[in-house]
Structure 1
Amino acid sequence: MFSYQLYSSRNFPPLGDTLAMLAAAGYGAVEGYGALYSDAGAVEALAAGLAATGLRMPTAHFGLDQLEGDPVGCVDIARRLGIGRIYCPWVHPDHRPSTAQGWRDFGARLDRAGAAIRAAGLGFGWHNHDFEFLPLPDGTVPMAALLEGGPSLEWEMDVAWVVKGGADPAAWIAAERGRITAAHVKDIAPAGQNADEDGWADVGHGTVDWRGLMGLLRGAGVAHFIIEHDNPSDHARFARRSLASVKGY
């Protein structure tokens, strides 16, 4: 299933128009992020928008503070929006561990944060950026330590960030098959291009080997493919062209 990370359209309000655009472009699902369910009114507005367009929200991002501070509330939001899997997407640079044991401990912390989510019958895991693949002074790769410390964690692999971190996504897919339950599908522009879009590209129009990687991810059992761009200059163009590309892979 191809979904769309609504964070890609955060600079193109209102949300209702974005949802209508995505439905018209051929999407059947979206992925939420924290600001969209900041309070009860926002949750209800999002639920109404999904109902009006026929879009589903099988996966969503929730911040660690919310997960640790109000796990019951997170489950309630997930129930209201039809979310089946929750991923924690970020840790602030000031709070990132600097040692292998620190990353193992962080993985264990995430595992504990997900206990109430899993107990409610929902999937729970981590969404990566590039920093988890930058080796520590002792050679440890933080992502490996994080997964070791949190053995129950699922992984939403952001493939382009794996590449940005200097790692080989194909090798990680092979090593962690079974744990990768969703993947972010985004693309990296050729060097020097798309500076106004922070160096990202519409999927299929960049340098990531999506034709090959899509097959590897499917073979590893990944069911959710979420199209994303961190800063598109035109979100409708991005949504339309990216979906057209991935449908051919």
Structure 2
Amino acid sequence: MTRKPSVQLYTVRDHMADREATLTRLARLGYTAVEPFDPTADPKGFRALADDLGLAVSGAHAMAMLHEPDPAPVFEAVAVLGTDLAILPAGIPEEDFTTRDGLERAADLLNTLSARAGEHGLRLGYHNHWWEFEPVLDGRHALEALADLTAPEVVFEIDTYWAAVGGADPAAVLERLGDRVVALHVKDGPKVKGEPHVAVGDGAMPVPAILAAAPADAWRVVELDACATDIFDAVGRSLEYLNGLEGA
């Protein structure tokens, strides 16, 4: 059975100063899961509030795992949130995706972090932007070449929008990576860098084909990096669209 959609809280970052009101509003829109981006900010309080609202934590973006001398406290915070998925959302130099040597460095980093995450009962995931797909090495997008260099325990959250902006066919990427994909960001827009995103279903992305190609148990995570309309209206309509597809 396909998981119910989650929502990346970076989408509503401008409202997170009132965390309770924002999570309550997302729950009332019908979301049953969220993806935090700052897991070390009061993880116990976040978990308690999420539990009260019936919100699961699908995963957590945890950039701090690269910034701290010891990532253990970051992984501990992710575990407190109630998820087993710690996601590195960036931090690998863009130029490392342009050469084989750079990809090997990136793989070494992810493998090391994955081993540390495993000590806390977590999986380590990597989330892409466009720069992991724009370079093509030996006929393959750099992100896919990186996947082959990483340990099988390293998993991926494919941002389908940025994969498309980077020149890839997101559905084909999902099919090739298969079960290595445990989550995907579902977003929509004109597929142009710097342009605001729109509610899922209102833009140029082939969302039905993307969802059909994704593993059934991979989290579908709605995200809008920027939006020219009311953000809660956009995330609400995104959920209605996705639920409609799953019910078709």
Both proteins in one fold, TM over 0.5: yes
Within the candidate set 215, 229, 234, 2:230 is matched to 234
Superposed counterparts of 1:143-158, under 5 Å: 143-152=143-152, 153-158=154-159
Structure 2 distance, partners of 1:97, 1:131, is 7
Per-residue CA deviations over 1:172-194 (Å, capped at 9, x if unaligned) read: 112111111111111113779xx
Per-residue CA deviations over 1:94-141 (Å, capped at 9, x if unaligned) read: 774542221122122111111121233322121010000112587663
Structure 1 distance, partners of 2:183, 2:239, is 17
Structure 2 distance, partners of 1:139, 1:215, is 25
Superposed counterparts of 1:125-140, under 5 Å: 125-135=125-135
User: CA 1:156–1:67 in structure 2 vs 1: closer, same or farther (change >3 Å)?
Assistant: farther
The structural deviation recorded for 1:22 is 0.6
Structure 2 distance, partners of 1:223, 1:118, is 20
Structure 2 distance, partners of 1:54, 1:141, is 39
Structure 1 distance, partners of 2:71, 2:37, is 16
Query: 1:71 maps to which residue?
Result: 71
Q: Tell me, yes or no, if the aligned pair for 1:101 and 1:145 is still in contact at 8 Å.
A: no
Q: Secondary structure at the match of 2:121?
A: coil
Query: 1:4 maps to which residue?
Result: 7
Deviates most, 114-123 or 223-232: 114-123
2:176 is aligned with 1:172: no
Structure 2 distance, partners of 1:211, 1:188, is 15
2:30 is aligned with 1:26: yes
Q: Secondary structure at the match of 2:126?
A: strand
User: CA 1:66–1:50 in structure 2 vs 1: closer, same or farther (change >3 Å)?
Assistant: farther
Query: 2:50 maps to which residue?
Result: 50
Q: CA RMSD in A?
A: 2.4
Q: Tell me, yes or no, if the aligned pair for 2:133 and 2:163 is still in contact at 8 Å.
A: yes
The structural deviation recorded for 1:79 is 2.5
Within the candidate set 235, 242, 246, 2:242 is matched to 246
**Partner amino acid, structure 2, of 1:226:** V
Q: Tell me, yes or no, if the aligned pair for 1:67 and 1:113 is still in contact at 8 Å.
A: no
User: CA 1:145–1:137 in structure 2 vs 1: closer, same or farther (change >3 Å)?
Assistant: closer
Query: 2:163 maps to which residue?
Result: 162
Query: 1:213 maps to which residue?
Result: 210
Q: Tell me, yes or no, if the aligned pair for 1:189 and 1:205 is still in contact at 8 Å.
A: no
**Partner amino acid, structure 1, of 2:170:** P
Identify unmatched segments of 5+ residues in structure 2: none
Query: 1:120 maps to which residue?
Result: 120
**Partner amino acid, structure 2, of 1:224:** W
Identity %: 29
**Partner amino acid, structure 1, of 2:132:** E
Per-residue CA deviations over 1:184-210 (Å, capped at 9, x if unaligned) read: 111113779xx8xx3311101111111
Q: Tell me, yes or no, if the aligned pair for 1:183 and 1:222 is still in contact at 8 Å.
A: no
Q: Tell me, yes or no, if the aligned pair for 2:161 and 2:191 is still in contact at 8 Å.
A: no
User: CA 1:92–1:12 in structure 2 vs 1: closer, same or farther (change >3 Å)?
Assistant: farther
Q: Tell me, yes or no, if the aligned pair for 2:130 and 2:165 is still in contact at 8 Å.
A: yes
Q: Secondary structure at the match of 1:87?
A: strand
Structure 1 distance, partners of 2:235, 2:138, is 41
User: CA 1:121–1:234 in structure 2 vs 1: closer, same or farther (change >3 Å)?
Assistant: same
Q: Tell me, yes or no, if the aligned pair for 2:97 and 2:143 is still in contact at 8 Å.
A: no
The structural deviation recorded for 1:227 is 0.6
**Partner amino acid, structure 1, of 2:89:** P
**Partner amino acid, structure 2, of 1:3:** S
